[in-house]
A and B are shown apart, each in its own frame.
Chain A
């Protein structure tokens, strides 16, 4: 890897809560993320694990009310994003950090042309005239594989995959240091998914942009990411380099995730998915959040919240087994 290894993002102990009528939801609970320039992190987890909330937290766009960032810091290029003014934050959004959302069908303003929507982000962050911004927006369209002449069309005149290309054009228009892509291909057809993913990956390399790719698809992760963090019930329960995670997953949940993917090379009779369902976010289990579903769980797991244990360089697991409190070996 020839990429520069300057620290870009350092998140520590980030906690985000939603206060609702039925109780407080700890959507994100003390997570830690480190990312260097040009690197790609895969943030993996089931629906409701807190991935999108984490992303919105980095953008400081958690809807408030009901959401609130309650603890931690988000260091980006050395300054804590939780301390900067709203105006400074605004100059970072779309410029240094930009985000691609899950559903391209609803991510674009239906009453503005796509050209206007791309030009807008350019006009905000770059000192360009209206004409120059319009010209640049056409270039961005070409870059994502859409004829520049379609800049005057409205979103409803595009297909889902094309819309996501437009969203990508918006997010890359100002050449950001960090791109957060929240399940960018989930809402698209399988054939289009690959195209969009390739496009993102190529552009990211071309601009040396760091990326956080939120997904529940380990296959996508293996193609794109350098590092992986697995989220469960608002916590990162395992983080590692891509190679470490794929060759040596340690957390029972991670192992369970791999067990639910069909493997073409080995012959298995049946898949072994993780049993049970995500816990009710207003009523999380005590101790380790995963213990009700964990095949290795002992009594202590219901009482003690595990710490993150570094089992090898860059490989951390949040499980009592690695704190030496349970005698078990996690097997695939």
Chain B
């Protein structure tokens, strides 16, 4: 027992080191991400100071603001200043509402996160079981149906699916609200809209991963040991098959954050995505910049979480970091 304990705590220290290392690696990635987005947004035509003060502002006031904002400084200086402020949670003020961008985003971020989380949950809850059943009953009717459904799911634009759902469930049947944020029911349609594509991809991935694992020698070993077929699938095959699926789920979360931009627009969902779309319409560069950076950062953190989860599931990866 004592031996097992030391092994366990040793493993924990290894994991802590691994997580710490991955967090450190995140810093250059995030710097890179902000640099790319900052550079892209700097191509936006027009003078930010002018945009902030409005068309009719007197030239000397604009000039003064330019000085204050440091818009005449070299590009790199401006970027470093942006990063310096961003680290302290200061992304500047919105051109349109004049309120701090960070506060605006932070107020809406939980809504986007909730939408994406429910979307992923739906996708996982459908995709993994259907994928497993499809793989274990390859070429059956059930397999054909779910593969066609998955193919349609992958091919459907999610904003269109959202509109079709509204057409059927809100306009037609009147069961669910078509927009806004009034009750818990409000999240159902947007989450389904967002989760369908991911569900389809996870289904396909689970199926092909499972099919691959089922053909492996160790599954034959398990059967040769007399393990019951159900247990062969649920215990031996599933854990191995899920390893690549976890990565896909993480990637899908990123696509969902992107897809949220469209879904939130369809359902008037008060999240960061809709904020972004409105900011683009109003040429509100600081909000656009901050929203994209914010979502990319979230995506990076999700991928980090996925990698850590990965290391927990796959002993081969864990031991890589113990060396």
Q: Do chains A and B touch in the complex (CB under 8 A)?
A: yes
Contacts of B236 in A (CB 8 A): 109, 112
Determine the interface band of chain B, counting residues with CB < 8 A from chain A. 20 to 34
Smallest distance from the beta carbon of A159 to chain B beta carbons, Å?
A: 15
- A93-B225 in contact (CB<8A): yes
Contacts of B225 in A (CB 8 A): 93-94, 98, 120-121, 124, 170
Is A103 on the interface with B (CB-CB < 8 A)?
yes
Is B226 on the interface with A (CB-CB < 8 A)?
yes
Interface majority SS on A: helix, strand, loop or mixed? helix
Option from B217, B226, B314, B315 in Cβ contact (under 8 Å) with A90: B226
Contacts of B229 in A (CB 8 A): 86
In the bound complex, CA of A99 to CA of B218 (Å): 12
Spell out A's residues near B (CB within 8 Å): 59, 61, 86, 90-95, 98-99, 101, 103, 106-112, 120-121, 124-125, 149, 152, 154, 156-157, 167, 170-171
Is B173 on the interface with A (CB-CB < 8 A)?
no
Mark B126-137 against chain A: 1 for CB-CB distance below 8 A, else 0: 000000000000
Option from B4, B218, B223, B315 in Cβ contact (under 8 Å) with A61: B223
Interface majority SS on B: helix, strand, loop or mixed? helix
- A99-B227 in contact (CB<8A): no
- A110-B227 in contact (CB<8A): no
- B316-A124 in contact (CB<8A): no
Is B224 on the interface with A (CB-CB < 8 A)?
yes
Option from B7, B220, B227, B315 in Cβ contact (under 8 Å) with A111: B315
CB neighbors of A among B166-193 (8 A): none
Known: A107-B217, A154-B319, A167-B221. A124 touches B226 (CB 8 A): yes
- A170-B220 in contact (CB<8A): no
Is B56 on the interface with A (CB-CB < 8 A)?
no
In the bound complex, CA of A101 to CA of B221 (Å): 8
In the bound complex, CA of A109 to CA of B220 (Å): 10
Contacts of B217 in A (CB 8 A): 101, 103, 106-107
Contacts of B3 in A (CB 8 A): 149
10 cross-chain CB contacts under 8 A: A59-B223, A90-B228, A93-B226, A94-B224, A107-B218, A110-B314, A111-B243, A120-B225, A121-B225, A152-B4
Contacts of A101 in B (CB 8 A): 217, 220-221, 224
